[in-house]
Structure 1
Amino acid sequence: MHRLVDDMFRNCLVIGLTTLTLAATTHVAAANSLNPDLINLAPNRWVRQDTPQVKGLSRQPHAGLAYDSKRGTLLIFGSNTHGTDWDNSVHEFDPVAARWTTHYPAAPPTSYRADDKGRAIAGEQRPLPWAMHTYAGVAYDPQRDGLIITARPEHNPIGKKIPAATIHPSWFYSQTRREWQMLPDSGQAPPKFFGAAAAYDERRGVAVAYRWGIWELLPHGAGHEWVKASKENHHQLHYTMVYDSHRGNFAVFGDYRNSNEVWIYTPGPRPGDEGRWEERQPGGDPAPRSQQFPVAFDRDQGVFLLVPGNTEFELQPSGRERALKPKSNSTFVYAPDDNRYIRLRDADMPALGMNFMMAYDPRHKVFLLVTGKPAQAPTVWALKLDLAPLKR
């Protein structure tokens, strides 16, 4: 009897030690899957990350960025085009390895054409989108595991040489298959989304685009189609729309006319239902009126981070203001519950130019910002936000 009890005790001890060992191993593996340089950042200032240079990869000011929540990576798609750049590749940045990856080579201009339905495609094998400005029209769909691209190649002059390309589809890029799919795949033309901003509504499971109204990508038959949920419009171009996962709504920042107000769009209860708009004039630290600047949402602390250009205005003889090119950018927090801006005094940046490339990384709890001059390698910056000293 005593021997049986001893054997049972030893077996339980072995099982317990094995469990502890597995737990410790899992914990170590989890710890090793993070970048200590990002974990140990000094708060409330931008810190440049050491990333290797990649031949042929340059920052595209007209491109957009989305965060892949399944892999914890940044996905970039978009091009300066204007006939001098043909980058229609997907570029991925891994914050853990601090490494860039290009998923496939850019398609040569000779491959640009129209398919049998008049849809603009490129690529010598599988269909690819044309190189195009995407601005803030890039969103990650976690349900389908891929990128939604709401954009049109209106600034790509090759379109004038290919009149047969009468339809410019929206696109979905599958991360698992690394293939592009046209949306809708019914052959119908999507809305004219040049300059649109896009985001993914996590609560309702639908991609949303904002351009001359609110559009939602809904399943219809075998494909997905854009449905107009709201005709109301408050912006022209160069704005950013970001999803607020705490409140289930969208915040829109910036505009072509230079703006520092915040517009909130609360969607309807079901996909396709009309929502409502609310204009806010934030208090707190005065934020510059600006456009085309990066914004991201901190899903842990429930606030937005924005890096607007410090735009100056020149009074013309006609009495109208003319916006001058910003010489620097400042960093602000927008707290929705207090409706106020908070400036991060130690987080000013050199002028960013046109930039829609920032995301919040919830694994490291940092904001990641991609900068760089055109035709130069991208630079990655990180900021860890600490609200405690800002509330004093």
Structure 2
Amino acid sequence: MTVESTAARTPRRSAGSKAGTTGTKRTTRTTAKKDAGTEPQLVQLLTPEGKRVKNAEYDKYVAGVTPEELRGLYRDMVLTRRFDAEATSLQRQGELGLWASLLGQEAAQIGSGRALRDDDYVFPTYREHGVAWCRGVDPTNLLGMFRGVNNGGWDPNGNNFQLYTIVIGSQTLHATGYAMGIAKDGADSAVIAYFGDGASSQGDVAESFTFSAVYNAPVVFFCQNNQWAISEPTEKQSRVPIYQRAQGFGFPGVRVDGNDVLGCLAVTRWALERARSGEGPTLVEAFTYRMGAHTTSDDPTRYRGDEERQAWEAKDPILRLRRYLEGSNHADEGFFAELEAESEALGKRVREAVRAMPDPDHFAIFENVYADGHALVDEERAQFAAYQASFADEGGN
């Protein structure tokens, strides 16, 4: 275990490492650590330096991974990041109303996404672009909702990938109910529910843990702990590491290095196998970092410092796997050059597809609110129509 990977076991931020940190917060963090008893354990198979770490418990779940599959994992992460960057740029250009970036979380999503079987079912939040990629959902289909031209963009049953869920934490209930259903049907598939560290404070998540445990539901709760629930740090969500909370509900929890794609692949495969074999739910906490803003409406410089981001950039999941591929002679410069060209082609395709989408109907927001209409909605529609007409009077459109 390297010095860096040991440090990664516990989220540490010094008083000067982020804007707005106070002595009170530092005291709270120290107390929470003491109450937890021990440092959080962290499953890691690949260090930030690209070195393979042996793990007696989880190595068997990636023992058969070939060099070709490793290159595939790298390709998945690179193309997902490229798509994500293009979507962020499109929002800044006014083509999308909002975008939630996954920058920094590629390993957690690709590793867990590639652990799934075709017959498993996924319940995402609104940031699982990498998982959607693994399930075969075209990237352009993710953008219609953020442009305001549809309410989802794909058939959930076509890829066993549910529509994005904006309501925080509610998808864990949907996943639990679905898992209970397939168990009663006698199926041997599993369900995975994604959520963030902030959502772990929601009552829906606690209820999901209760029902899944009591009914032994074949569900994996996959928490991407990116350490910032918008502007609130993780210690405002839990006094103990998130994965340890599973103990109180009667099922196991494990914390994995969320920037280690091999570790995420192995741990998720283990958890899914438990679910399929009738051993019930598991909580996986992928300890990672949101390197960008929560969404494009957020300014992370208001609540955290550059030093923190820079420290996590050194643990970049893509760079980590590239170092391993190069060090193991599993990829050459030709592979990386071809992937760069493919990446740019994807960005161009996404850009052109979004710009070809129709503009949203400006008045659709007033429809389907009340079945029989409503005086206040009618008044607001008229006010908005007058506002729109004012631009035409000025020669606009």
Task: Give the TM-score normalised by structure 2.
Answer: 0.27
**TM-score normalised per structure 1:** 0.27
Which structure shows the higher strand fraction?
A: 1
Decide which structure has greater helix share.
2
Larger Rg computed on CA atoms: 1
> Higher relative CO (CA 8 A, sep ≥ 6), structure 1 or 2?
2
